[in-house]
Each structure stands twice: as structure tokens, then as C-alpha cells.
Structure 1
Amino acid sequence: MKTQFKPLIVALCLTTLMACNANNKKSDISNQLIAETVIETNSKTEQPEIKVALLLDTSNSMDGLIDQAKAQLWKIVNELSYAKCENENPNLKIALYEYGNDNLNAEEGYLRQVISFSDDLDEISKSLFSLTTNGGNEYCGKVIKTALNQLEWGTNEDDLKLIFIAGNEPYSQGNVSYKEASKLAHNRDVTVNTIFCGDYDQGISISWKHGADLTHGNYMAINHNEATVHIASPYDDKILELNEKLNKTYVAYGSAGRKKMEMQAEQDSNAMSYNKANAVSRTVSKSSRLYKNSSWDLVDAEKEEDFSYEDLKQSELPIELKGKSKAEIKSYVEAQSKTRIKLQDEIAALNLKRRDYVAKQNTNASNSLENAMLKALKTQAEKKNYKWE
């Protein structure tokens, strides 16, 4: 349905923070596969996890909201990096869907899973920046139900499982009832938070608040066309200078190593395309514990329990390590690791000063996607004893 308003979903399905005194149960609900190419990049971990699924409406009227998602991704990641669960640092995985686009399969409900739960932040950024808008028909109940059935939510009672859905057309469109989808969410201990892009009272009148109430979620209204404000600080240039040095500590290996390193540089460029302050936010994310690249970087891979230098093949090594002994390779990687830690510490120290500076400069409350998401996230996280440093 094409009207002045078009719905959009940002279903931020924050899930599975695996730590906090859990009771593991096996789920009877089978996964519903969508006939689309799906990117999946996960690393093994026993730490708590925050799982975030972004379900974005890519119809024409949602350009502003998609732009906010791209511009504010790194700010959200940075805020999540400060979360604690019973004194443990939870890992972060993000999934991305698009829906409401005429280019998508009508039989599938005009929706597609772009990337399943992943901790590869560069891959997630690339996926976001690949989205384009066109047309469409936007079905809130359908995309919520699909995300609930397709993604691995887990059954740990102490996990934080959240969906954020945003849009600006009636919440009840499509042949899947939002009430049915909400019931499924409630049964799986998933909280649905709704974000209406427009007038607060109008969102209530077309069921957006009711959709949140059914799972005890938050209802919020935002200005999705509000431009993202990036505040410059005196520390930005130095942080970006350290980012260039940080990139040089990566030791690409394997068949995907070189391409992944190129993607890293590409996402640096995408962040800078908004402005310097956004590139700084990405650099801060890259210096945090959430930015991990063990699938292609030897420095990160060496920290994995199942990694062994004996398993490395000469054909997988970068030029600077070809012909080197295992001992020489290990020594080189250790040196790069020490350099990286030093750079990350410097960036973190500068960022503390930067955060204080930006907080003092930013006196106007923003009515944006980022603020709506983080407000709901923290409110609901506190109910399960998650804290912020």
C-alpha cells in the first residue's frame, strides 16, 4: 500500500546474553528458512551475548530512518560495549533484515534476511550500506514472525531478547496478524518494542502502542527524517590518526584475508562519508572488545582456543610471513598484538575525554532512532540485572 506513510521495521532483536544463571531448554520451534542468500559469520564463545536483529523497511519513505541506522550504528555499538551481565562482558551479535521493498519476493512477504546473527561488525556495516529503497508493501506481523522463527533466540530465561520495529503505516497490514506474532514473541520471552515514525498520538491510533503492550515492550515515536548530529571534538584528529596505525596491526591470512582487510578499509570510508565524528565513533568501536576478526586476522585468531600455529599453511600466509618458521610467525603476531593493545588503550583514553566533551556540548535531546533504541534497551536490560559501566 503506497500512501503518505510507509512502515519500517527496525527489529532490534537483542537476544541471548548467555550468562546470568540460565536454564537451558531445547526449543520445539523449527527454523523457517527464507529463499534468499544469507550471510552468516559467527565465532564460538561461552560469554554472555547481546543479539540484535535490525529489521529495516526499505520502502521509499524510509530513506531517513535507514540513513539514521547507517549513521548511528557505531554509537549504538559503543554504548553496548559498556554493558555488564553479572560482572561479565557480553558479546554482541547483530542480524539484519530488509522488508517492504518492491524488489523483494512477493511470495515471501516482501522481506529478506540480509545477514543472520553475526559478530563481524564490518560485514554488518557493509550490509547496512548496501540497502536501497523502492516501493512497497510493509507487513509488520509477517516480518516479526519471520524473525522470531528464523533466528536462533535461545531458551535461556536470563537472556535479554528484544525486537525493535519501526514504521509509519498501520501496524496491522498483511495477512499475518501482529497479535499472532506478539503471542509467539511472548511465548519465546522476546519483548517487542515499537517505534512509530511520526506523531505520537497517531501511532497509538494505528496500533503501534498496542503492539508493544502485548509483550510489555516500549512504544516510542521519533522523527525519522531528523538529521544525525555529529559533534566534533578536539580529540578526533588524534583518534583517526591512531585508527590508521591500528589498521596496520592486522595480519590477514586465509583465502578471505585480503578481501576482509579491504572491507575494513571500505567501512572506514563509509563511516567517514557522514563526517569525521562518525568515523571517530567507528574507530572507538574497532578499539573495543566487540570488534573481533578471528576468521581472517592472525592476531585475533591466535586468541581462539582451537587455534594452532601448526595448522597454518604457507599458502594462507601474507607475503611478509611466507617462508618464515612457526616461531618467527608467532613472534611477529605477538609483536602486532602488543602494538594493537597499546593503540586500543590510547584510543580508549582519548575517547573518555571525547565522551565528556560531547556530553557537555550536546545539550539538546535528539528524537532519533539511536536514542529510542538505547532508552528501551537499558530500561528492559535493568530488569534482568544488566548494568552499564
Structure 2
Amino acid sequence: MKKSKQFWALLFAPLFTITIYGCETRNNKSVQPPIIAQAVMAEHDPMPASNVVKIALLLDTSNSMDGLINQAKAQLWDVVNKFTHAKCGNAERPKLEIALYQYGNDNLSSKEGYIQQVLNFSNDLDEISEKLFSLTTNGGEEYCGEVIATSLKQLDWGKNPDNLKMIFIAGNEPFDQGKLNYTDAVANAKEKDIIVNTIFCGNYEQGINTDWKNGAILTGGEYIAIDHNRQVVHIETPYDDIIIQLNSKLNNTYISYGFLGQSRMKAQAEQDANAMELAEGVAVKRAVSKSSRLYSNSTWDLVDASEEAEFDVAKIEQEQLPEELKGKSSKEIESYIQEKKSERSSIQKEIQALNIKREAYIAKNQQATQKGELENAMLKAIQKQAARKNYTWE
């Protein structure tokens, strides 16, 4: 095993390139059930939804992958922030769901091929972050074909042919290890219209010689070799501290309800702390994500829940309300929700405005050597493919 730091940002670059294939030109609307009270997490919607991007991340968590996991934690928010500004050909904003698998870890069951589903498809950004931070590394056997096949079998990829479905698998051992032939696994993925992208953590030619490139091209995916000596550089800006302060104010606009309320609000704070522990720049990116449309918590927050068409505050049981709203009339509760909604909107707009200035500052002060050599190439590919598929980024 090679011990190395991983430049995770490059993993997600082809994601944006391929995303453009998921745009559809018609509207498919699904009817949501009334939001009365939330006792458990909502199940995956069985109805086909328009403009849904489904991404399964398959991460090698053997001893050599500590840097990879750390970069995954940091770069999650770059992915979210990129998709925040995405528009499909019909001008609809795509939804984003992420699933997470780990493989190649001795702590996992040998009977399962040292593979574990860490998270089913989820649009809960706090939950995704939480699961990434739960990952630890240990030596093991890396079976790429088997983990791909497992994700195809276990996950609900849906039947909407317009939806974009992608697998990103990262590791540094030969791609053909294990009893299950990887060519069979990727052929199955292609049949299901799922694109497999491979990220080899090592020398570009070595990745080709160990079948990582072939694993990608068989489904029309992207192959990338990561320069394992590079790290993501977070450039400090004059706007960082202000955005972090606004993030604290943003948290105060959430109104927890139901059995999930208190635990999910606690998880929100924990993921803020995890991001800050990694780097202040990561905390800033997470705050920007929280100011976006993709950070929605209708399963436990009354402000987000009130945005649903079938929301009815009168049908929420008193015991599911937070202490500050118990005993209040429906009119009083609605007024309180509107107050917090207005406050949240104002804070989110302020964060977004500051982030525009922040990004301009970074663009001006970032040196070419602070980017991976493949990063510029991927950005050019994004623009080229986006123009071809009428996909825009705003």
C-alpha cells in the first residue's frame, strides 16, 4: 500500500463534466404527501422525479487512504456549491442525492467482500457529512468489481431515463482484483445507464496498466490519476470570518419539530464543528452550502417544511413542537415560522453575496501552482460539454 495525501478535488471534477448529460427537456411532477408530523426519516420517493442526479461514492478505506478520506470531507461542499448553480435545458434546478460505500477495510466482513454500504441515497447534507466523518482506515483487500456490483444491486437507481446516474470509485490497487470480473460489473452498470468514473491514487500510467482507465471507458466514464503529493489549498479571504459568523446566525433560524428535531439540530452543529476542525476554508464552504437551495431539512425543520405544498401547521401534534411553540395557536405558530423564514432568507442572501466577493478574491490571488494540473483541463471539459448539452451554470 502506498501512504499518501490525496487531492480529492480532482475526483469531483469529472462529475461536473458528466452532469450535463442528465438534463431533460420536459417537466415530470410528483405529488408529495401531506406533511403532518415527522416521526422517521422520509423513505426514498418511489415516483420518478425530474432532474435528479444520483452519485454513488465508492471509497477505498484501506491503510493508504487516510488522505483520500480527509479530502472527501472537505470537498463535499465544493460539489454541493457547484450543483447549486446548475440548470438543465428546461431551466429546472437538479436535485442531488449521494450514496456512500467503503471497501478494502479489514474491519469489514470478509463474507461481504470487505464492502459496506455506509449511506443509501440521501439528500441530507448533514447526514452525508456525518457518514464521511465516520470513516476510518485499516488494511484490507480491494475488490473494485465487487463493490461496483454491490452498489448496483443494493441502491435504488430509479427508472427515469432522463436522470443522471454515476459511480465514482477511488483507490490505488489493481482494478481487476477479486473473484468478480470488473468488466461484468461495469457492463451491468452501462446496461442500467450508470456511468462509472475511476480515480486512481497514483501514477497515471500505472493506473492505465492496472485497468483503472479501462474500467471507466467501458461505460463512457472519466479516468483520472490523482497526484498524491498535492493537497487542496484553502486561500484565506477577508470575507471568511463574516460568513462563519453569519452561519451561526443561520442556525438560529431553524425550528426543530418531531422526533427527529433535536437530534438533527445537534447533528447540524456537529457537522459545523467537523468542518471547522478540518480548516476554516471548509467551514466557509459548508456555510455557503447551507445558504443554498440544496440544504433542505423539511423532515425536522418547520421553516423548510412550510415550503411544501401540503404543509398544514394545524395538523402537527403539540408534543412534536419545540418548547417555544407549545400551547401556541396555529396563527401564532405560522407567524413565528414566517419570522424565522424571513430572517433566514436575509442571512442566506448575505452569505451568497459575500461568497461572490470571496470567489473573486480567490480567483485573483490563487496561483497556478495551487491547482492540480488536471483541474484546469476538467473545467474546460465542463464548459465544452455544458455548451453541447445546453447545460448552464449560474
- TM-score, reference length from structure 2: 0.86
Counterpart CA distance in 1 for 2:236 and 2:182 is 42
| Equivalent in the alignment of 1:387 | 392
When residues 294 and 374 of structure 1 are mapped into structure 2, their CA distance, relative to the original with a 3 A threshold, is farther
Name the SS for the 2:53 alignment partner.
strand
| Equivalent in the alignment of 1:349 | 353
| Equivalent in the alignment of 2:38 | none
CA RMSD across the alignment: 2.9
| Equivalent in the alignment of 1:53 | 56
**Range moving further from structure 2, 63-72 or 282-291:** 63-72
Question: Deviation digits for residues 303-324 of structure 1, max 9, x if unmatched?
Answer: 1123211211111111111110
| Residue 80, structure 1, aligned to residue 80, structure 2 | no
Alignment length (residue pairs): 372
How do 1:268-347 and structure 2 match up within 5 A? 268-347=272-351
- What is the one-letter code of the residue matched to 2:184? E
| Equivalent in the alignment of 2:162 | 158
| Equivalent in the alignment of 1:94 | 98
Q: Structure 2: any 5+ residue segments left out of the alignment? A: 29-40
- What is the one-letter code of the residue matched to 2:62? S
Name the SS for the 1:103 alignment partner.
coil
When residues 252 and 375 of structure 1 are mapped into structure 2, their CA distance, relative to the original with a 3 A threshold, is farther
Q: How much does 1:197 deviate?
A: 0.7
| Equivalent in the alignment of 1:207 | 211
Q: How much does 1:18 deviate?
A: 7.5
Pick from 69, 74, 78 the counterpart of residue 72 of structure 2.
69
Counterpart CA distance in 2 for 1:347 and 1:333 is 21
Q: Structure 1: any 5+ residue segments left out of the alignment? A: 25-38
Name the SS for the 2:187 alignment partner.
helix
Q: How much does 1:381 deviate?
A: 6.1
**Range moving further from structure 2, 129-138 or 221-230:** 221-230
When residues 57 and 186 of structure 1 are mapped into structure 2, their CA distance, relative to the original with a 3 A threshold, is same
- TM-score, reference length from structure 1: 0.87
When residues 120 and 45 of structure 1 are mapped into structure 2, their CA distance, relative to the original with a 3 A threshold, is farther
Q: How much does 1:21 deviate?
A: 3.8
Q: How much does 1:376 deviate?
A: 7.2
| Residue 177, structure 1, aligned to residue 181, structure 2 | yes
Question: Deviation digits for residues 255-290 of structure 1, max 9, x if unmatched?
Answer: 110111111000000000122111110000000000
- What is the one-letter code of the residue matched to 1:268? D
Counterpart CA distance in 2 for 1:368 and 1:300 is 40
Q: Is the 8 A contact 2:21 2:389 kept in 1?
A: no
Q: Is the 8 A contact 2:57 2:99 kept in 1?
A: yes
- What is the one-letter code of the residue matched to 1:338? S
- What is the one-letter code of the residue matched to 1:387? T
| Residue 133, structure 1, aligned to residue 123, structure 2 | no
| Equivalent in the alignment of 2:31 | none
> Identity of aligned pairs, percent?
55
Name the SS for the 2:170 alignment partner.
strand
Counterpart CA distance in 2 for 1:372 and 1:146 is 32
| Residue 123, structure 1, aligned to residue 127, structure 2 | yes
- What is the one-letter code of the residue matched to 1:168? N
Question: Deviation digits for residues 122-172 of structure 1, max 9, x if unmatched?
Answer: 011000000001110110001111112222222333322222212111110
Counterpart CA distance in 2 for 1:361 and 1:56 is 32
Q: Is the 8 A contact 2:105 2:139 kept in 1?
A: yes
| Residue 248, structure 1, aligned to residue 242, structure 2 | no
Q: Is the 8 A contact 1:96 1:113 kept in 2?
A: yes
Counterpart CA distance in 2 for 1:378 and 1:151 is 30
Counterpart CA distance in 2 for 1:217 and 1:165 is 11
